[in-house]
Amino acid sequence: MKRIFGFLLILFAVGCSTNTTHQGSDLSKLDEFKIEKNVTTEKDLVDHFGAPGNITARGDGSRILVWNDTRSDAKTNGTKFIPIVGAFTGPMVDQKINHRSLSATVRDGVVIDFTETNGNQQLQY
């Protein structure tokens, strides 16, 4: 019995984990950086956030620069691996996803318009 309990304890400890991932630019810097129309330059944005992930050229000569920031924290529930008991212990994975994006329209090297987007999602499976 002690062996089974020890095995289950090890399985639980190994099975409980948190995985954090980050993709894209660090847009948390948006909180400390004020963008002003007709004042902020493309160079200011690139210096602060790095190269944009996407650039769209428009027919009027302007360009749309886009930066994305996606962060995910996923927690695995180790108790799901315990026979019989695991069926009653909640979801296998609890994942929180935060997405933030910045889209800036630039003409002649100066920001003429911009949009910030924030979104959160929680998944359990």
User: What is residue 105's predicted lDDT score, i.e. its pLDDT?
Assistant: 98
pTM exceeds 0.85 for this model:
no
The span from the CA of 30 to the CA of 52, in Å, is 14
Tally of residues, the chain: 125
Strand-strand pairing, 93-107 and 110-124: antiparallel
Q: Residue 4 gets which letter from DSSP?
A: H
Confidence bin at 5 (pLDDT 50/70/90): low
> Which domains are seen in the chain, by residue range?
21-75+92-124 (3.30.1450)
Q: What are 46-104's pLDDT values in tens digits?
A: 999 999 999 999 999 999 999 999 999 888 877 766 777 667 777 677 889 999 999 99
What percentage of the chain reaches a pLDDT higher than 70? 81
Q: What angle do CA 53, 56, 60 make, to 5 degrees?
A: 150
User: What is residue 110's predicted lDDT score, i.e. its pLDDT?
Assistant: 98
